[in-house]
A and B are shown apart, each in its own frame.
Chain A
Amino acid sequence: MHNAIENRELIVLDGLGIRIQGTYHAPPSVLSHVPLGQRSLGRTGVLFLNSLSLPRAASGDSAVHWADSIAEHGYPSFRIDLPGLGDSGGSASTDLLNFINSGGFAPVAAAAAKELVDRFGLSGLVIFGHCAGSVSALYAAAAGREASGLILLDPYFHLPQARRPKVRQELSDWARRSKVGRLLSNTYDWAKNLLLLLRGSALPGNANSQLLAGWKQVAAGGLPILLLKAPGIKAHGFRPRVGEFDYTGHALKLAGRKSRVSVEFVEGADHSFANYGGREPVQRHIEDWLVSHFPLEDFNRNAKRAAPLRAGEKQSDSRKSPTAPANLGCALKGR
Protein backbone atom coordinates (compact mmCIF):
# COMPACT_ATOMS: atom_id res chain seq x y z
CA MET A 1 0.00 0.00 0.00
CA HIS A 2 1.33 3.43 -0.89
CA ASN A 3 0.50 6.73 0.72
CA ALA A 4 1.16 8.70 -2.44
CA ILE A 5 0.84 8.14 -6.17
CA GLU A 6 1.73 10.34 -9.12
CA ASN A 7 0.19 13.67 -8.11
CA ARG A 8 -1.91 12.55 -5.14
CA GLU A 9 -1.11 12.01 -1.51
CA LEU A 10 -3.31 10.86 1.35
CA ILE A 11 -3.16 13.25 4.25
CA VAL A 12 -4.42 13.19 7.82
CA LEU A 13 -5.23 16.39 9.69
CA ASP A 14 -5.95 16.96 13.32
CA GLY A 15 -9.37 18.56 13.12
CA LEU A 16 -9.59 19.96 16.64
CA GLY A 17 -8.63 16.58 18.04
CA ILE A 18 -10.55 14.48 15.49
CA ARG A 19 -8.69 12.58 12.75
CA ILE A 20 -9.55 14.12 9.40
CA GLN A 21 -8.78 12.09 6.30
CA GLY A 22 -8.07 13.90 3.10
CA THR A 23 -6.48 13.76 -0.31
CA TYR A 24 -3.93 16.27 -1.56
CA HIS A 25 -3.68 16.87 -5.30
CA ALA A 26 -0.26 18.35 -6.01
CA PRO A 27 0.49 20.69 -8.88
CA PRO A 28 2.98 19.39 -11.44
CA SER A 29 6.62 20.30 -11.18
CA VAL A 30 9.17 20.65 -13.95
CA LEU A 31 11.63 19.09 -11.55
CA SER A 32 10.58 15.51 -10.98
CA HIS A 33 12.55 15.18 -7.73
CA VAL A 34 10.55 17.89 -5.92
CA PRO A 35 8.46 16.08 -3.28
CA LEU A 36 4.69 16.45 -3.64
CA GLY A 37 4.43 18.39 -0.39
CA GLN A 38 6.91 21.05 -1.48
CA ARG A 39 5.22 21.78 -4.79
CA SER A 40 2.63 23.95 -3.11
CA LEU A 41 4.93 26.43 -1.37
CA GLY A 42 3.71 29.98 -1.81
CA ARG A 43 0.72 28.98 -3.92
CA THR A 44 -2.99 29.48 -3.42
CA GLY A 45 -4.74 26.21 -2.74
CA VAL A 46 -8.33 25.05 -2.99
CA LEU A 47 -10.03 23.14 -0.17
CA PHE A 48 -13.09 21.00 -0.97
CA LEU A 49 -15.62 20.32 1.79
CA ASN A 50 -18.28 17.58 1.84
CA SER A 51 -21.67 18.20 0.39
CA LEU A 52 -24.09 17.11 3.13
CA SER A 53 -23.14 13.51 3.99
CA LEU A 54 -21.47 12.60 0.71
CA PRO A 55 -17.87 11.38 0.89
CA ARG A 56 -15.11 13.70 -0.30
CA ALA A 57 -15.15 12.30 -3.84
CA ALA A 58 -18.65 13.87 -4.18
CA SER A 59 -21.38 12.86 -6.63
CA GLY A 60 -20.01 11.04 -9.66
CA ASP A 61 -16.50 11.62 -8.26
CA SER A 62 -16.82 15.18 -9.51
CA ALA A 63 -14.65 16.61 -6.72
CA VAL A 64 -11.84 14.21 -7.69
CA HIS A 65 -12.14 15.41 -11.26
CA TRP A 66 -12.10 19.10 -10.32
CA ALA A 67 -9.26 18.74 -7.80
CA ASP A 68 -7.11 16.90 -10.35
CA SER A 69 -7.82 19.52 -12.98
CA ILE A 70 -7.23 22.51 -10.68
CA ALA A 71 -3.93 21.03 -9.47
CA GLU A 72 -2.89 20.41 -13.06
CA HIS A 73 -3.34 24.16 -13.60
CA GLY A 74 -1.00 24.99 -10.74
CA TYR A 75 -3.32 25.28 -7.76
CA PRO A 76 -2.82 22.62 -5.07
CA SER A 77 -6.13 21.08 -4.10
CA PHE A 78 -7.24 19.34 -0.97
CA ARG A 79 -10.37 17.27 -0.39
CA ILE A 80 -11.20 16.45 3.19
CA ASP A 81 -13.91 14.53 5.00
CA LEU A 82 -15.31 16.57 7.86
CA PRO A 83 -15.71 14.80 11.24
CA GLY A 84 -18.21 11.97 11.11
CA LEU A 85 -18.24 11.96 7.32
CA GLY A 86 -16.40 9.83 4.77
CA ASP A 87 -13.25 8.23 6.13
CA SER A 88 -12.72 10.72 8.96
CA GLY A 89 -13.13 9.98 12.62
CA GLY A 90 -15.90 11.25 14.85
CA SER A 91 -19.63 10.79 14.58
CA ALA A 92 -21.96 12.77 12.40
CA SER A 93 -24.93 14.48 13.92
CA THR A 94 -28.15 12.64 13.21
CA ASP A 95 -29.62 16.09 12.64
CA LEU A 96 -26.95 16.80 10.06
CA LEU A 97 -28.76 19.36 7.92
CA ASN A 98 -29.61 21.61 10.87
CA PHE A 99 -26.12 21.10 12.25
CA ILE A 100 -24.64 22.35 8.97
CA ASN A 101 -27.15 25.17 8.58
CA SER A 102 -26.24 26.52 11.99
CA GLY A 103 -22.54 26.49 11.14
CA GLY A 104 -21.67 23.33 13.06
CA PHE A 105 -18.72 22.46 10.83
CA ALA A 106 -17.28 25.99 10.75
CA PRO A 107 -14.73 25.67 13.61
CA VAL A 108 -13.27 22.40 12.33
CA ALA A 109 -13.26 23.51 8.67
CA ALA A 110 -11.52 26.77 9.61
CA ALA A 111 -8.99 24.84 11.72
CA ALA A 112 -8.35 22.42 8.86
CA ALA A 113 -7.81 25.36 6.49
CA LYS A 114 -5.26 26.86 8.87
CA GLU A 115 -3.47 23.55 9.27
CA LEU A 116 -3.22 23.14 5.48
CA VAL A 117 -1.90 26.67 4.99
CA ASP A 118 0.76 26.13 7.66
CA ARG A 119 1.72 22.62 6.61
CA PHE A 120 2.00 23.25 2.87
CA GLY A 121 3.24 26.83 3.05
CA LEU A 122 0.31 28.12 1.03
CA SER A 123 -0.12 31.81 0.32
CA GLY A 124 -3.86 31.41 0.75
CA LEU A 125 -6.71 28.97 0.50
CA VAL A 126 -9.96 29.14 -1.43
CA ILE A 127 -12.74 27.12 0.18
CA PHE A 128 -15.03 25.19 -2.15
CA GLY A 129 -18.48 23.96 -1.19
CA HIS A 130 -21.47 22.56 -2.98
CA CYS A 131 -25.03 22.90 -1.67
CA ALA A 132 -24.80 22.17 2.08
CA GLY A 133 -21.02 22.20 1.64
CA SER A 134 -21.23 25.81 0.47
CA VAL A 135 -22.98 26.68 3.72
CA SER A 136 -20.09 25.14 5.68
CA ALA A 137 -17.57 26.90 3.42
CA LEU A 138 -19.23 30.26 3.99
CA TYR A 139 -19.39 29.82 7.75
CA ALA A 140 -15.74 28.65 7.79
CA ALA A 141 -14.63 31.72 5.83
CA ALA A 142 -16.46 33.96 8.29
CA ALA A 143 -15.05 32.08 11.31
CA GLY A 144 -11.37 32.00 10.35
CA ARG A 145 -8.76 34.15 8.68
CA GLU A 146 -7.40 31.59 6.26
CA ALA A 147 -9.93 31.84 3.43
CA SER A 148 -8.65 33.94 0.57
CA GLY A 149 -11.67 33.15 -1.58
CA LEU A 150 -14.83 31.09 -1.86
CA ILE A 151 -16.28 28.90 -4.58
CA LEU A 152 -19.93 28.20 -3.88
CA LEU A 153 -22.04 25.86 -6.01
CA ASP A 154 -25.79 26.28 -5.54
CA PRO A 155 -25.61 27.77 -2.05
CA TYR A 156 -28.91 28.22 -0.27
CA PHE A 157 -29.69 30.91 2.25
CA HIS A 158 -32.86 29.48 3.73
CA LEU A 159 -33.53 26.75 6.25
CA PRO A 160 -34.93 23.82 4.29
CA GLN A 161 -37.28 21.32 5.82
CA ALA A 162 -35.55 18.12 6.86
CA ARG A 163 -38.16 15.97 5.14
CA ARG A 164 -41.09 16.93 2.99
CA PRO A 165 -44.38 15.34 3.99
CA LYS A 166 -45.16 12.31 1.81
CA VAL A 167 -48.47 13.79 0.66
CA ARG A 168 -46.68 16.86 -0.60
CA GLN A 169 -44.12 14.78 -2.42
CA GLU A 170 -46.84 12.80 -4.14
CA LEU A 171 -48.72 15.97 -5.02
CA SER A 172 -45.57 17.44 -6.58
CA ASP A 173 -45.01 14.26 -8.55
CA TRP A 174 -48.57 14.31 -9.83
CA ALA A 175 -48.18 17.96 -10.84
CA ARG A 176 -45.14 17.07 -12.91
CA ARG A 177 -46.90 14.18 -14.63
CA SER A 178 -50.24 15.69 -15.54
CA LYS A 179 -51.22 18.77 -17.53
CA VAL A 180 -53.93 19.67 -15.03
CA GLY A 181 -51.42 19.27 -12.24
CA ARG A 182 -49.00 21.57 -13.97
CA LEU A 183 -51.70 24.18 -14.45
CA LEU A 184 -52.61 24.01 -10.77
CA SER A 185 -48.92 24.15 -9.82
CA ASN A 186 -48.47 27.30 -11.92
CA THR A 187 -51.56 28.88 -10.35
CA TYR A 188 -50.17 28.09 -6.92
CA ASP A 189 -46.84 29.68 -7.89
CA TRP A 190 -48.59 32.89 -9.00
CA ALA A 191 -50.60 33.02 -5.80
CA LYS A 192 -47.37 32.69 -3.85
CA ASN A 193 -45.89 35.41 -6.02
CA LEU A 194 -48.72 37.75 -5.10
CA LEU A 195 -48.01 37.18 -1.41
CA LEU A 196 -44.33 37.75 -2.10
CA LEU A 197 -45.09 41.10 -3.74
CA LEU A 198 -47.31 42.13 -0.85
CA ARG A 199 -44.50 41.37 1.58
CA GLY A 200 -42.14 43.71 -0.26
CA SER A 201 -38.43 43.24 0.42
CA ALA A 202 -38.95 41.50 3.77
CA LEU A 203 -37.09 38.24 4.14
CA PRO A 204 -39.17 35.05 4.27
CA GLY A 205 -39.63 33.41 7.64
CA ASN A 206 -37.34 30.53 6.73
CA ALA A 207 -34.34 32.73 5.87
CA ASN A 208 -31.07 31.67 7.48
CA SER A 209 -30.25 35.02 9.08
CA GLN A 210 -27.06 33.73 10.70
CA LEU A 211 -25.72 32.58 7.33
CA LEU A 212 -26.75 35.80 5.60
CA ALA A 213 -24.86 37.73 8.27
CA GLY A 214 -21.79 35.58 7.58
CA TRP A 215 -22.21 36.20 3.87
CA LYS A 216 -22.44 39.94 4.39
CA GLN A 217 -19.29 39.88 6.51
CA VAL A 218 -17.14 38.07 3.93
CA ALA A 219 -18.69 39.41 0.72
CA ALA A 220 -18.86 43.05 1.78
CA GLY A 221 -15.33 42.65 3.12
CA GLY A 222 -14.14 42.11 -0.45
CA LEU A 223 -13.39 38.38 -0.36
CA PRO A 224 -13.39 37.05 -3.95
CA ILE A 225 -16.37 34.75 -4.34
CA LEU A 226 -17.39 32.64 -7.31
CA LEU A 227 -21.02 31.60 -7.12
CA LEU A 228 -22.21 29.00 -9.61
CA LYS A 229 -25.85 28.22 -10.13
CA ALA A 230 -27.51 25.28 -11.82
CA PRO A 231 -31.00 25.43 -13.34
CA GLY A 232 -33.62 24.95 -10.65
CA ILE A 233 -37.11 23.48 -10.86
CA LYS A 234 -39.28 25.86 -12.91
CA ALA A 235 -36.60 28.53 -12.55
CA HIS A 236 -35.68 30.90 -15.36
CA GLY A 237 -31.93 31.26 -15.57
CA PHE A 238 -30.68 33.13 -12.52
CA ARG A 239 -34.17 34.06 -11.50
CA PRO A 240 -35.89 31.75 -9.03
CA ARG A 241 -39.17 29.99 -9.60
CA VAL A 242 -42.19 32.30 -9.65
CA GLY A 243 -43.32 32.87 -6.08
CA GLU A 244 -39.94 32.10 -4.54
CA PHE A 245 -37.84 34.74 -2.86
CA ASP A 246 -34.73 35.75 -4.84
CA TYR A 247 -32.03 34.91 -2.30
CA THR A 248 -29.18 35.32 -4.78
CA GLY A 249 -30.34 38.83 -5.64
CA HIS A 250 -30.72 39.60 -1.95
CA ALA A 251 -27.24 38.25 -1.20
CA LEU A 252 -25.75 40.42 -3.95
CA LYS A 253 -27.46 43.49 -2.49
CA LEU A 254 -26.04 42.63 0.94
CA ALA A 255 -22.59 42.25 -0.57
CA GLY A 256 -22.60 45.85 -1.76
CA ARG A 257 -20.96 47.56 -4.67
CA LYS A 258 -17.39 47.00 -3.54
CA SER A 259 -17.76 43.26 -3.31
CA ARG A 260 -15.92 40.86 -5.61
CA VAL A 261 -18.70 38.37 -6.19
CA SER A 262 -18.88 36.64 -9.59
CA VAL A 263 -22.08 34.80 -10.44
CA GLU A 264 -22.24 32.30 -13.28
CA PHE A 265 -25.15 30.24 -14.51
CA VAL A 266 -24.19 26.71 -15.60
CA GLU A 267 -26.90 25.90 -18.08
CA GLY A 268 -26.26 22.21 -18.67
CA ALA A 269 -25.72 21.28 -15.04
CA ASP A 270 -27.99 19.40 -12.72
CA HIS A 271 -27.88 20.35 -9.07
CA SER A 272 -25.01 17.95 -8.38
CA PHE A 273 -22.92 19.59 -11.14
CA ALA A 274 -21.49 16.07 -11.53
CA ASN A 275 -23.16 15.39 -14.85
CA TYR A 276 -20.94 15.91 -17.88
CA GLY A 277 -22.96 18.97 -18.87
CA GLY A 278 -22.09 20.44 -15.49
CA ARG A 279 -18.65 19.31 -14.50
CA GLU A 280 -16.76 20.58 -17.55
CA PRO A 281 -18.23 24.13 -17.47
CA VAL A 282 -17.68 24.25 -13.70
CA GLN A 283 -14.06 23.28 -14.22
CA ARG A 284 -13.61 26.07 -16.78
CA HIS A 285 -15.32 28.67 -14.60
CA ILE A 286 -13.15 27.75 -11.62
CA GLU A 287 -9.90 27.79 -13.56
CA ASP A 288 -10.69 31.12 -15.20
CA TRP A 289 -11.73 32.63 -11.90
CA LEU A 290 -8.60 31.37 -10.11
CA VAL A 291 -6.33 32.74 -12.82
CA SER A 292 -8.19 36.04 -12.68
CA HIS A 293 -8.03 36.47 -8.89
CA PHE A 294 -4.97 34.44 -7.92
CA PRO A 295 -2.62 34.59 -10.90
CA LEU A 296 0.37 32.29 -10.96
CA GLU A 297 3.68 33.73 -11.99
CA ASP A 298 5.17 30.48 -13.20
CA PHE A 299 2.13 29.24 -15.09
CA ASN A 300 1.39 30.57 -18.55
CA ARG A 301 -2.14 29.83 -19.46
CA ASN A 302 -4.41 31.95 -21.58
CA ALA A 303 -7.51 31.94 -19.50
CA LYS A 304 -10.63 33.97 -20.05
CA ARG A 305 -11.16 36.39 -17.20
CA ALA A 306 -14.34 35.83 -15.32
CA ALA A 307 -16.51 38.92 -15.51
CA PRO A 308 -17.74 39.58 -12.01
CA LEU A 309 -21.39 40.35 -11.56
CA ARG A 310 -21.51 43.09 -8.99
CA ALA A 311 -24.24 44.13 -6.68
CA GLY A 312 -26.77 46.26 -8.46
CA GLU A 313 -25.95 44.87 -11.89
CA LYS A 314 -28.74 43.09 -13.66
CA GLN A 315 -28.26 39.37 -13.92
CA SER A 316 -28.19 38.16 -17.47
CA ASP A 317 -31.00 35.88 -18.37
CA SER A 318 -29.96 35.51 -21.97
CA ARG A 319 -29.04 31.91 -21.32
CA LYS A 320 -32.43 30.38 -20.87
CA SER A 321 -32.80 27.59 -18.39
CA PRO A 322 -33.54 24.33 -20.12
CA THR A 323 -35.75 21.81 -18.44
CA ALA A 324 -33.58 21.30 -15.43
CA PRO A 325 -32.11 17.85 -15.07
CA ALA A 326 -31.96 15.87 -11.88
CA ASN A 327 -30.37 16.79 -8.65
CA LEU A 328 -28.32 13.76 -7.78
CA GLY A 329 -27.82 12.54 -4.28
CA CYS A 330 -28.84 15.71 -2.52
CA ALA A 331 -31.39 15.77 0.22
CA LEU A 332 -32.40 19.29 -0.72
CA LYS A 333 -33.63 18.38 -4.15
CA GLY A 334 -36.99 19.55 -5.18
CA ARG A 335 -37.30 22.10 -2.43
Chain B
Amino acid sequence: MAVQTQVQPNQHLLERAGYFPVSGAHLYSVLHEVKNPVARVLLVGPFASERHNSFLPWVRWARYLAEGDIEVLRYDYRGIGESTGAFEQMTFADWRQDVRLLSAWLAARSLLVPLVLHGLGLGAVLAGDAFDQGIGEGLLLWAPPKNANQALRATLMRWVGLEQIFKFGDDRKSASDYIRELERGSSLEVDGYRWSAELWRESSGFALPAALESEESAASAYQRPVKIVRLTSDAAPLVKGGLVGYDDLKDFSWLYAPNREWIAAIALQCSTGVAHA
Protein backbone atom coordinates (compact mmCIF):
# COMPACT_ATOMS: atom_id res chain seq x y z
CA MET B 1 0.00 0.00 0.00
CA ALA B 2 2.79 2.46 0.91
CA VAL B 3 4.57 4.29 -1.87
CA GLN B 4 7.93 4.07 -0.21
CA THR B 5 8.50 2.10 2.91
CA GLN B 6 11.10 1.95 5.60
CA VAL B 7 12.42 -1.17 7.28
CA GLN B 8 9.36 -3.35 7.78
CA PRO B 9 8.73 -4.06 11.44
CA ASN B 10 8.21 -7.69 12.35
CA GLN B 11 4.44 -8.12 12.27
CA HIS B 12 4.66 -11.23 14.44
CA LEU B 13 5.84 -9.45 17.55
CA LEU B 14 3.02 -8.98 19.99
CA GLU B 15 2.08 -5.47 21.03
CA ARG B 16 -0.43 -5.26 23.82
CA ALA B 17 -2.08 -1.95 24.65
CA GLY B 18 -3.76 -1.61 28.01
CA TYR B 19 -4.70 0.68 30.86
CA PHE B 20 -2.65 0.59 34.04
CA PRO B 21 -4.58 1.80 37.08
CA VAL B 22 -3.01 4.52 39.23
CA SER B 23 -4.55 6.78 41.81
CA GLY B 24 -7.40 8.68 40.13
CA ALA B 25 -6.41 7.80 36.56
CA HIS B 26 -5.38 5.11 34.12
CA LEU B 27 -2.08 5.09 32.29
CA TYR B 28 -2.23 4.00 28.68
CA SER B 29 0.65 1.66 28.01
CA VAL B 30 1.86 -0.59 25.25
CA LEU B 31 3.86 -3.69 26.02
CA HIS B 32 6.08 -4.91 23.20
CA GLU B 33 6.08 -8.45 24.41
CA VAL B 34 9.02 -10.74 23.72
CA LYS B 35 9.37 -14.44 24.46
CA ASN B 36 12.44 -15.04 26.62
CA PRO B 37 13.70 -11.45 26.58
CA VAL B 38 17.33 -10.66 27.33
CA ALA B 39 16.38 -7.36 28.96
CA ARG B 40 13.40 -5.14 29.67
CA VAL B 41 13.22 -1.43 28.99
CA LEU B 42 10.80 1.14 30.33
CA LEU B 43 10.55 4.01 27.87
CA VAL B 44 9.88 7.32 29.58
CA GLY B 45 8.93 9.49 26.67
CA PRO B 46 8.79 13.14 25.85
CA PHE B 47 6.35 15.49 27.51
CA ALA B 48 2.92 16.76 26.41
CA SER B 49 2.98 18.04 22.82
CA GLU B 50 6.47 16.63 22.32
CA ARG B 51 4.84 13.20 22.61
CA HIS B 52 2.90 13.83 19.43
CA ASN B 53 5.82 15.29 17.50
CA SER B 54 8.13 12.38 18.23
CA PHE B 55 5.56 9.59 18.38
CA LEU B 56 6.57 7.67 15.26
CA PRO B 57 10.33 7.47 15.89
CA TRP B 58 9.58 6.59 19.53
CA VAL B 59 7.29 3.68 18.55
CA ARG B 60 9.76 2.52 15.91
CA TRP B 61 12.50 2.52 18.57
CA ALA B 62 10.32 0.32 20.80
CA ARG B 63 9.76 -2.09 17.91
CA TYR B 64 13.45 -2.08 17.03
CA LEU B 65 14.31 -3.08 20.59
CA ALA B 66 11.65 -5.81 20.61
CA GLU B 67 13.09 -7.24 17.40
CA GLY B 68 16.37 -7.58 19.29
CA ASP B 69 14.73 -9.65 22.06
CA ILE B 70 14.38 -6.71 24.40
CA GLU B 71 10.93 -6.36 25.92
CA VAL B 72 9.63 -2.81 26.04
CA LEU B 73 6.94 -0.97 27.92
CA ARG B 74 6.05 2.52 26.73
CA TYR B 75 3.30 4.64 28.20
CA ASP B 76 1.61 8.02 28.24
CA TYR B 77 2.06 10.31 31.23
CA ARG B 78 -0.94 10.85 33.44
CA GLY B 79 -3.25 13.43 31.84
CA ILE B 80 -1.55 13.18 28.42
CA GLY B 81 -2.31 11.30 25.21
CA GLU B 82 -4.39 8.16 25.76
CA SER B 83 -3.96 8.22 29.54
CA THR B 84 -6.78 9.62 31.60
CA GLY B 85 -6.70 12.48 34.09
CA ALA B 86 -6.79 16.23 33.69
CA PHE B 87 -3.40 17.51 32.55
CA GLU B 88 -3.68 20.83 34.39
CA GLN B 89 -4.17 19.02 37.70
CA MET B 90 -1.04 16.89 37.38
CA THR B 91 2.24 17.53 39.14
CA PHE B 92 5.75 16.17 38.79
CA ALA B 93 5.01 14.03 41.86
CA ASP B 94 2.30 12.23 39.84
CA TRP B 95 4.60 11.68 36.88
CA ARG B 96 7.40 10.46 39.16
CA GLN B 97 4.97 7.98 40.66
CA ASP B 98 4.04 6.75 37.17
CA VAL B 99 7.67 5.76 36.55
CA ARG B 100 7.96 3.96 39.87
CA LEU B 101 4.73 1.99 39.45
CA LEU B 102 5.38 0.95 35.88
CA SER B 103 9.01 0.03 36.43
CA ALA B 104 7.95 -2.14 39.38
CA TRP B 105 5.32 -3.83 37.22
CA LEU B 106 7.76 -4.42 34.37
CA ALA B 107 10.54 -5.68 36.63
CA ALA B 108 8.14 -8.11 38.28
CA ARG B 109 7.49 -9.87 34.97
CA SER B 110 10.80 -11.62 35.50
CA LEU B 111 13.53 -10.98 38.02
CA LEU B 112 16.07 -12.80 35.90
CA VAL B 113 16.61 -10.16 33.26
CA PRO B 114 17.83 -6.61 33.82
CA LEU B 115 15.54 -3.61 33.75
CA VAL B 116 16.82 -0.57 31.90
CA LEU B 117 15.24 2.85 32.18
CA HIS B 118 15.34 4.99 29.09
CA GLY B 119 14.26 8.63 29.12
CA LEU B 120 14.02 11.25 26.41
CA GLY B 121 13.81 14.98 27.07
CA LEU B 122 11.79 15.59 30.20
CA GLY B 123 11.43 11.81 30.39
CA ALA B 124 15.20 11.67 30.95
CA VAL B 125 14.81 13.71 34.13
CA LEU B 126 12.07 11.35 35.33
CA ALA B 127 14.06 8.24 34.43
CA GLY B 128 17.20 9.69 36.02
CA ASP B 129 15.28 10.51 39.18
CA ALA B 130 13.96 6.92 39.44
CA PHE B 131 17.42 5.48 38.74
CA ASP B 132 18.87 7.69 41.45
CA GLN B 133 16.37 6.08 43.83
CA GLY B 134 17.79 2.66 43.00
CA ILE B 135 15.40 1.56 40.26
CA GLY B 136 16.82 -0.29 37.26
CA GLU B 137 20.08 -2.01 36.37
CA GLY B 138 20.91 0.46 33.63
CA LEU B 139 20.01 3.96 32.48
CA LEU B 140 19.94 5.39 28.99
CA LEU B 141 19.36 9.11 28.58
CA TRP B 142 18.67 10.85 25.28
CA ALA B 143 18.93 14.63 25.22
CA PRO B 144 18.68 15.03 28.98
CA PRO B 145 17.98 18.61 30.09
CA LYS B 146 19.48 19.94 33.32
CA ASN B 147 16.03 20.19 34.77
CA ALA B 148 12.39 19.96 33.75
CA ASN B 149 12.24 23.70 33.17
CA GLN B 150 14.83 23.46 30.42
CA ALA B 151 12.65 20.86 28.67
CA LEU B 152 9.57 23.06 29.04
CA ARG B 153 11.49 26.01 27.59
CA ALA B 154 12.43 23.97 24.52
CA THR B 155 8.76 23.08 24.01
CA LEU B 156 7.75 26.68 24.52
CA MET B 157 10.31 27.86 21.96
CA ARG B 158 8.97 25.44 19.38
CA TRP B 159 5.42 26.58 20.05
CA VAL B 160 6.32 30.27 19.90
CA GLY B 161 7.98 29.67 16.53
CA LEU B 162 4.72 28.25 15.19
CA GLU B 163 2.62 30.90 16.88
CA GLN B 164 4.63 33.65 15.18
CA ILE B 165 3.81 32.31 11.72
CA PHE B 166 0.32 33.66 12.19
CA LYS B 167 1.21 36.96 13.87
CA PHE B 168 2.33 40.23 12.43
CA GLY B 169 4.38 43.14 13.71
CA ASP B 170 3.56 44.12 17.27
CA ASP B 171 1.17 41.17 17.74
CA ARG B 172 4.14 38.83 17.76
CA LYS B 173 5.13 37.88 21.29
CA SER B 174 8.54 36.51 22.13
CA ALA B 175 9.22 33.48 24.31
CA SER B 176 10.37 35.89 27.04
CA ASP B 177 6.95 37.58 26.99
CA TYR B 178 5.23 34.24 27.59
CA ILE B 179 7.73 33.25 30.27
CA ARG B 180 7.05 36.52 32.08
CA GLU B 181 3.32 35.69 32.03
CA LEU B 182 3.99 32.30 33.61
CA GLU B 183 6.29 33.83 36.19
CA ARG B 184 3.61 36.39 37.06
CA GLY B 185 1.27 33.52 37.90
CA SER B 186 -0.81 33.24 34.73
CA SER B 187 -1.40 29.94 33.04
CA LEU B 188 -0.44 29.53 29.41
CA GLU B 189 -1.91 27.30 26.75
CA VAL B 190 0.89 25.62 24.82
CA ASP B 191 0.01 23.31 21.93
CA GLY B 192 -3.39 22.57 23.45
CA TYR B 193 -2.09 21.93 26.98
CA ARG B 194 -2.73 24.41 29.75
CA TRP B 195 0.52 24.97 31.62
CA SER B 196 -0.12 26.31 35.08
CA ALA B 197 2.19 28.78 36.78
CA GLU B 198 2.66 26.07 39.41
CA LEU B 199 3.91 23.59 36.80
CA TRP B 200 6.39 26.19 35.55
CA ARG B 201 7.60 26.99 39.07
CA GLU B 202 7.92 23.33 40.04
CA SER B 203 9.81 22.50 36.86
CA SER B 204 12.82 24.55 37.92
CA GLY B 205 13.17 22.52 41.09
CA PHE B 206 12.85 19.15 39.40
CA ALA B 207 16.40 18.55 38.24
CA LEU B 208 18.40 15.69 36.82
CA PRO B 209 20.43 14.22 39.72
CA ALA B 210 23.85 15.89 39.86
CA ALA B 211 25.66 12.57 39.41
CA LEU B 212 24.07 12.24 35.98
CA GLU B 213 25.89 15.24 34.59
CA SER B 214 28.32 12.94 32.82
CA GLU B 215 28.84 9.22 32.29
CA GLU B 216 32.01 9.42 34.39
CA SER B 217 30.32 10.95 37.40
CA ALA B 218 27.42 8.51 37.02
CA ALA B 219 29.80 5.53 36.88
CA SER B 220 31.40 6.42 40.16
CA ALA B 221 28.13 7.35 41.86
CA TYR B 222 25.98 4.40 40.89
CA GLN B 223 28.20 1.45 39.94
CA ARG B 224 25.54 0.67 37.34
CA PRO B 225 25.80 1.36 33.61
CA VAL B 226 24.67 4.77 32.43
CA LYS B 227 24.78 6.08 28.87
CA ILE B 228 24.11 9.71 28.07
CA VAL B 229 23.45 10.68 24.46
CA ARG B 230 23.39 14.38 23.54
CA LEU B 231 21.23 14.65 20.45
CA THR B 232 21.72 17.26 17.78
CA SER B 233 19.20 18.66 15.31
CA ASP B 234 19.73 15.54 13.13
CA ALA B 235 17.57 13.76 15.67
CA ALA B 236 14.58 16.10 15.24
CA PRO B 237 11.75 15.62 16.08
CA LEU B 238 13.13 13.62 19.02
CA VAL B 239 14.66 16.98 19.90
CA LYS B 240 13.39 20.45 19.06
CA GLY B 241 12.87 21.03 15.37
CA GLY B 242 11.68 19.10 12.39
CA LEU B 243 8.39 18.94 10.60
CA VAL B 244 5.56 16.64 11.51
CA GLY B 245 4.85 14.31 8.61
CA TYR B 246 8.40 14.49 7.29
CA ASP B 247 11.13 14.32 9.87
CA ASP B 248 9.25 11.81 12.01
CA LEU B 249 9.34 9.37 9.09
CA LYS B 250 13.06 9.51 8.42
CA ASP B 251 15.53 6.75 9.12
CA PHE B 252 16.84 6.69 12.69
CA SER B 253 18.85 3.47 12.50
CA TRP B 254 22.06 5.49 13.11
CA LEU B 255 20.66 6.23 16.57
CA TYR B 256 18.85 2.98 17.28
CA ALA B 257 21.61 0.50 16.43
CA PRO B 258 24.38 1.56 18.87
CA ASN B 259 21.89 2.14 21.68
CA ARG B 260 20.33 -1.29 21.31
CA GLU B 261 23.81 -2.78 21.30
CA TRP B 262 24.52 -0.97 24.55
CA ILE B 263 21.38 -2.39 26.18
CA ALA B 264 22.20 -5.87 24.88
CA ALA B 265 25.67 -5.53 26.41
CA ILE B 266 24.10 -4.81 29.81
CA ALA B 267 22.00 -7.92 29.38
CA LEU B 268 25.08 -9.95 28.57
CA GLN B 269 26.96 -8.49 31.53
CA CYS B 270 24.08 -9.34 33.87
CA SER B 271 23.67 -12.86 32.56
CA THR B 272 27.41 -13.46 32.98
CA GLY B 273 27.14 -12.06 36.49
CA VAL B 274 24.20 -14.36 37.28
CA ALA B 275 26.10 -17.34 35.85
CA HIS B 276 29.14 -16.52 37.99
CA ALA B 277 26.98 -16.05 41.06
Q: Which residues of A contact B (CB under 8 A)?
A: 1-6, 8, 10, 16, 18-19, 21, 23, 52-62, 64, 83-87, 89-99, 104, 107-108, 132, 162-163, 172-173, 176-179, 182, 233, 270, 272, 274-276, 279, 323-331, 333-334
Contact = CB atoms under 8 A, between A and B. Distances in A.
Interface stretch (B8-16, B208-216, B259-267): B8-16
Interface of B: 1-9, 11, 15-21, 26, 29-31, 49, 51-53, 55-56, 59, 80-82, 84, 87, 159, 162-169, 171-172, 189, 191-194, 243-246, 248-250
B192 A60 contact: yes
Contacts of B166: 233, 270, 323-327, 334
Q: Chain A interface secondary structure, helix, strand, loop or mixed?
A: loop
Nearest to B55: A55
27 contacts: A1-B20, A2-B19, A19-B11, A53-B245, A53-B248, A54-B55, A55-B52, A57-B82, A59-B52, A62-B192, A64-B82, A92-B2, A92-B6, A93-B249, A94-B4, A96-B246, A97-B246, A173-B165, A176-B165, A233-B165, A270-B166, A323-B171, A325-B167, A326-B163, A326-B164, A331-B246, A334-B165
Given A61-B192, A276-B194, A330-B244, A89 B9 contact: yes
A3 B4 contact: no
Given A8-B84, A328-B49, 12 more contacts: A54-B244, A57-B81, A61-B81, A83-B1, A93-B249, A94-B4, A107-B1, A172-B165, A176-B167, A179-B169, A323-B168, A329-B162
A15 to B, nearest CB: 9
A27 to B, nearest CB: 18
A133 to B, nearest CB: 11
Contacts of B6: 91-92, 94
A38 to B, nearest CB: 20
A93 B26 contact: no
B49 A59 contact: yes
Contacts of B56: 53, 85, 92
Nearest to A65: B192
A2 B26 contact: yes
A93 B3 contact: yes
A117 B224 CA distance: 53
